[in-house]
């Protein structure tokens, strides 16, 4: 082999070496970059407490329903709802225990939020959870630390019935549905976002501080 041939072979080997994987390194298929995540547009329900007293004994259609927001939230469009804002609506229908043959009924729609600065924002609001007032954690009683976990009840009802069970430990621990004694919760979201409460062999008494979780649209 002459000198020119050796130079050509050496050049070819050098060029080929640039494409070889160095010793000790395993060739791998490139890992594709993850697709950009879709922003979470789900809006958590607002947590509020009733600000007015309502009862199926004497309430009537058109009466104002008001609940005070206890934890800042936001609307689906991003509008911030500060703590202390009011969720407002009106009663649609009401029936006392006497008129309902032992069962009572109250329906209402929540249609606006009054922000603390006075601005009023229209909404569709639906109650998806309702329960007894939350008591300070160091008190004894139906809503005390000992009873909030659903392990006991001072109202004589079985905590496993889903009605009249102990109140929530805090605003983040509110069970869906109704935990008000002898009150069931119905929802008509697909129709007109009407909240329906039914008293089972009892009147419906909504005292201030009854806690609600309100889904917004």
Separation CA 131–CA 150 (nearest Å): 13
Asked whether the CA dihedral 145, 147, 148, 150 is positive or negative, the reply is positive
Tell me whether residue 134 is in a domain: yes
Q: Residue 79 corresponds to which tokens in the numbers above?
A: 């509008």
Confirm whether 40 is domain-assigned: no
Domain-located, residue 13: no
Angle at 123 (CA atoms; ends 120, 125), nearest 5 degrees = 125
Task: Give the residue with greater pLDDT, 163 vs 100.
Answer: 100
Does residue 1 fall inside a structural domain? Answer: no
CATH (domain of 114): 2.40.128
pLDDT of residue 116: 75
Which residue segment(s) compose the domain that 189 sits in?
Answer: 46-216
pLDDT confidence bin for 16, thresholds 50/70/90? very low
Is 14 among the domain residues?
no
Encoded tokens for 122: 């229209």
In a domain, 6, yes or no: no
Residue 41 lies in a domain: no
Domain count, the chain: 1
pTM above 0.85, yes or no: no
The predicted structure's pLDDT at residue 33: 38
Domain contains 33: no
Task: Report, as an integer, the average pLDDT of 65-85.
Answer: 92
């Amino acid at each position: 082999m002459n000198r020119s041939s050796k130079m050509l072979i050496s050049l070819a080997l050098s060029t080929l070496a640039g494409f070889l994987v160095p010793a000790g390194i395993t060739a791998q298929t490139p890992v594709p970059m993850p697709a950009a995540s879709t922003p979470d547009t789900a809006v958590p329900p607002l947590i509020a407490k009733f600000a007015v007293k309502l009862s199926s004994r004497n309430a009537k259609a058109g009466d104002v329903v008001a609940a005070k927001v206890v934890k800042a939230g936001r609307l689906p469009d991003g509008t911030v709802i500060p703590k202390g804002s009011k969720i407002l609506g009106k009663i649609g229908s009401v029936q006392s225990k006497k008129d309902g043959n032992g069962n009572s009924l109250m329906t209402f729609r929540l249609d606006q939020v009054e922000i603390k600065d006075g601005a009023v924002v229209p909404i569709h609001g639906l109650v998806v959870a309702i329960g007894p007032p939350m008591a300070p954690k160091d008190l004894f009683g139906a809503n005390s630390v000992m009873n909030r976990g659903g392990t006991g009840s001072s109202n004589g009802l079985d905590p496993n019935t889903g009605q009249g069970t102990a109140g929530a430990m805090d605003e983040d621990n509110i069970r869906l549905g109704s935990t008000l004694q002898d009150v069931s919760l119905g929802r008509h979201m697909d129709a007109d976002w009407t909240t329906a409460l039914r008293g089972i062999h009892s009147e419906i008494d909504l005292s201030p501080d009854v806690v609600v979780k309100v889904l917004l649209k």
